[in-house]
Amino acid sequence: MAGRNIEKMASIDAQLRQLAPAKVSEDDKLIEYDALLLDRFLDILQDLHGEDLRETVQELYELSAEYEGKREPKKLEELGKVLTSLDAGDSIVISKAFSHMLNLANLAEEVQIAYRRRIKKLKKGDFVDESSAATESDIEETFKRLVSDLGKSPEEIFDALKNQTVDLVLTAHPTQSVRRSLLQKHGRIRDCLAQLYAKDITPDDKHELDESLQREIQAAFRTDEIRRTPPTPQDEMRAGMSYFHETIWNGVPKFLRRVDTALKNIGIDERVPYNAPLIQFSSWMGGDRDGNPRVTPEVTRDVCLLARMMAANLYYNQIENLMFELSMWRCTDEFRAKADEIHRNSRKDAAKHYIEFWKTIPPTEPYRVILGDVRDRLYHTRERSRQLLSNGISEIPEEATFTNVEQFLEPLELCYRSLCSCGDRPIADGTLLDFLRQVSTFGLSLVRLDIRQESERHTDVLDAITKHLDGSSYREWSEERRQEWLLAELSGKRPLFGPDLPKTEEIADVLDTFKVISELPSDCFGAYIISMATSPSDVLAVELLQRECHVKTPLRVVPLFEKLADLEAAPAAVSRLFSLDWYKNRINGKQEVMIGYSDSGKDAGRLSAAWELYKAQEELVKVAKKYGVKLTMFHGRGGTVGRGGGPTHLAILSQPPDTVNGSLRVTVQGEVIEQSFGEEHLCFRTLQRFTAATLEHGMNPPVSPKPEWRALLDAMAVVATEEYRSVVFQEPRFVEYFRLATPELEYGRMNIGSRPSKRKPSGGIESLRAIPWIFAWTQTRFHLPVWLGFGAAFKYAIKKDVRNLHMLQDMYKHWPFFRVTIDLIEMVFAKGDPGIAALYDKLLVSKDLWAFGEKLRTNFEETKNLILQTAGHKDLLEGDPYLKQRLRLRDSYITTLNVCQAYTLKRIRDQSYNVTLRPHISKEIMQSSKSAQELVKLNPTSEYAPGLEDTLILTMKGIAAGLQNTG
């Protein structure tokens, strides 16, 4: 028996080597990294839970790998038999083990990508990882290409760069399914793995690193992956802000130094001015109240004060280093006069609570005198925010703090000028320049908070006001009458309402939000975004409410167009808005418009949504040009392809010409925040990718599509929308099928976000949020919302005229927008597996709906073949061997989790479903007298049979990690 066990142990390694895809190139270490992490993990699993459990994991892995090899449905049933025979405790351990192995495979990939990047072997045009295609160039290559290939002068590049802005807007969309406690451990596993393969490592180092690696793998496995309570908006904001002190804060000045170096290399001997707004950060966390009743005015106030406190604290922690560095005594007369004045007015014992420089600083160190004063004000700024946050009042007078960023910059600029005048520019261009750049980027508020609210909620408030004034109903008025009344009120002076206005809770909530905006410093806020905006009155309503609530510096008002019909009507609505004199004077030649990718996709399918978004942008730019307005497009992209996600660099370069124009706002959502800013090198790459692509789009715009390409795509989009809607909205039993065939009903239990998964508790697909809609289809590996409609559209085009196939291939080769759209769909097909979806149908869907599922799966295969034909590929991802290899590596783990999920759902939904349990196999459970209760009691309130809910949630998290796309 023992002999067989040793043999069996060795077999998984042999099996892995056999099953693992081959090396793609000489510098390919992925398989090595993955095998090392897996070996360590399986040893830990055996130590904790015994040999039998490890063997079961291996058996499941082998069955999955056999299924992946031949795609035989029989193998899935064999897997199901093993999985359903596990008791509650064992089944939790096994699903946790597979979820953990997928997270480890992801970490091995990240280390491999960083390694290949370091050795500069990255070919152009690879998809490096799903979230970021590496057609990306580093900033220096972009500069050089613009100079050598396009004949741009270095000065032109420098000018364009100085005037461009990329604003990254972090949103708390509930798609980050991994807990922060685990993200930190994952980061440490990544570090250990990278260091283990360093060239100059000693045997002792190696031993210690290996120990740390095992410790972190075990710590991650022993951490409860499941969030037991939903996060509050304040939790989400703190999680989002944690990226600032971990990577973004120091990442920005580091990146800007690299830009300086790249400029030097093309012959520009100047640095990017510290106040050039190259990168800006905004946030929706605690400001986005659309459909989220948990974001109250009080929450908005809290997150603004918290962000101010964090910003002051980050500056405060750095200012002493700067004081140490600037120990010079030479300075200009202007500077000395200022330093002497501060010195004369300083109290002897004022600095006792500081650790360094706690005595009065002598006037012979003028820079330290002035920076000491900055430190005092930062200290008060931080403490005042802290007191306001905890008590609502503060005894620190506002005069003792920094109230605007100009006050903060003034003494720092004075130091900079004085050092340069005295021949010390190299010193000024050190830590001081970095500090100035941080102040210019983050200000006093760290990020600017956008407020988002649904247009209907403003209509409710105005309706209450007009009824109170003269009994008429604003809601009943025509658009013309609304505009006329709003403009008359905006031009007049009378206050519209007093404290006696009758208010419902909802109305009070909207007005109190404006009150918070009026009370807090104006640099806390960015834009006021109106979702479901359709007409000019929606924008004017917010302008009027800002005035009525005494907002001293009104926020810019941004309409958000999402549904297909709204996108089509957007250019006309914006044009009507610009034709109003009052509004034109108000905006000072600048307007921002937001376009939504998720809801447009859910409404009409990916193909039509992508094309409509493209055309709407072109038209909006024409309208803005006609009225002499500079337009900024704000792209609301999700992480997954179904919600407009995909590689950043390609996405920017495939936008229509003239639509980026040096200013770009983009949402960075949920799990994408971790992929973009989770590590220093990721943060650097993200900043570089956005900056380089924005510059390139402006200086080397993509081609405009030929008229015949447009005509073909127009006709195809109509067919695609028809097919998509005929299935999703018109098929009478579609909603029933969707709820049976996917874990959509159970999604809410994951506690991913603070926002409810539905806009309205009842209602069909329309009221379902885009995230759970995509999430549910991703879980079953069917990805229906992404590809549905493509097949019919391509079939129609080729049937209409056989030469259209040639035209489509031509579009794929020469039109970036079309190519990106097709490549992303191809990537989704590579992650899909209709065989898995068929298993869910068989177990969960009523027999009379089986034919419907079968029809959809046939459509999946047909669509896939048409996409391959268009791209001129024989196999999926043939142009990208690295991604293909990574997906193959993950597939066997994901398949086990899919089968486990399908059978667990069966047991949850069908009480009469009988399974025969075998005895416990986990050693830990067998040895304790409490049997499976240990793990099961983490969730004592579950309404399901013991262990089922946790097993289900673990499979959801594992599959999300494996597909690297949540919602």
Residue 529 half-sphere exposure toward CB, CA atoms < 13 A: 30
Q: Smallest Cα–Cα separation from 690: which of 320, 164, 236, 325?
A: 164
Cα–Cα dist 686/683, whole Å: 5
The answer to whether the CB of 706 falls within 8 A of the CB of 210 is no
Residue 569: CB atoms within 10 A of its CB come to: 15
The answer to whether the CB of 301 falls within 8 A of the CB of 520 is yes
Collect all residues with Cβ–Cβ distance below 8 Å to 323 and sequence separation of at least 6.
Answer: 356, 357, 367, 368, 371, 372, 375
Give the residues across from 557 on adjacent strands.
528
- What are the C-alpha distances in Å from 814 to residues 428, 652, 949? 48, 16, 49
The answer to whether the CB of 520 falls within 8 A of the CB of 306 is no
Q: What angle do CA 687, 689, 694 make, to 5 degrees?
A: 100
Q: Which of 49, 75, 96, 173 is catalytic?
A: 173
Query: What's the token pair of residue 265?
Result: 């290399």
Q: Smallest Cα–Cα separation from 288: which of 864, 754, 887?
A: 754
Residue with token string 């193959």: 888
Q: What are phi and psi of 758, to 5 degrees?
A: -130, 150
Query: What's the token pair of residue 435?
Result: 């500090």
Q: Smallest Cα–Cα separation from 652: which of 820, 535, 823?
A: 820
The answer to whether the CB of 290 falls within 8 A of the CB of 770 is no
- What are the C-alpha distances in Å from 124 to residues 138, 749, 787? 11, 42, 27
Q: Which of 602, 697, 884, 920 is catalytic?
A: 602
Cα–Cα dist 916/86, whole Å: 9
173 tagged catalytic: yes
Residue with token string 């009150």: 515
Sign of CA dihedral 525, 528, 529, 532: positive
353 tagged catalytic: no
Rounded to a whole number of angstroms, the CA Rg of the chain reads 30
The answer to whether the CB of 436 falls within 8 A of the CB of 412 is yes
Cα–Cα dist 301/289, whole Å: 13
What's the 3-state SS for 193-230? HHHHCCCCCCHHHHHHHHHHHHHHHHHHHCCCCCCCCC
The type of residue at 37 is: L
- What are the C-alpha distances in Å from 70 to residues 59, 63, 103? 17, 11, 25
Q: What angle do CA 176, 845, 958 make, to 5 degrees?
A: 25
What's the 3-state SS for 116-130? HHHCCCCCCCCEEEC
Collect all residues with Cβ–Cβ distance below 8 Å to 882 and sequence separation of at least 6.
Answer: 24, 28, 126, 127, 128
How distant is the alpha carbon of residue 958 from its chain centre?
A: 19
Cα–Cα dist 527/282, whole Å: 9
Query: What's the token pair of residue 183?
Result: 């993200």
Collect all residues with Cβ–Cβ distance below 8 Å to 675 and sequence separation of at least 6.
Answer: 129, 131, 132, 639, 682, 964
DSSP code at position 802: T
List residues with catalytic annotation.
Answer: 173, 602
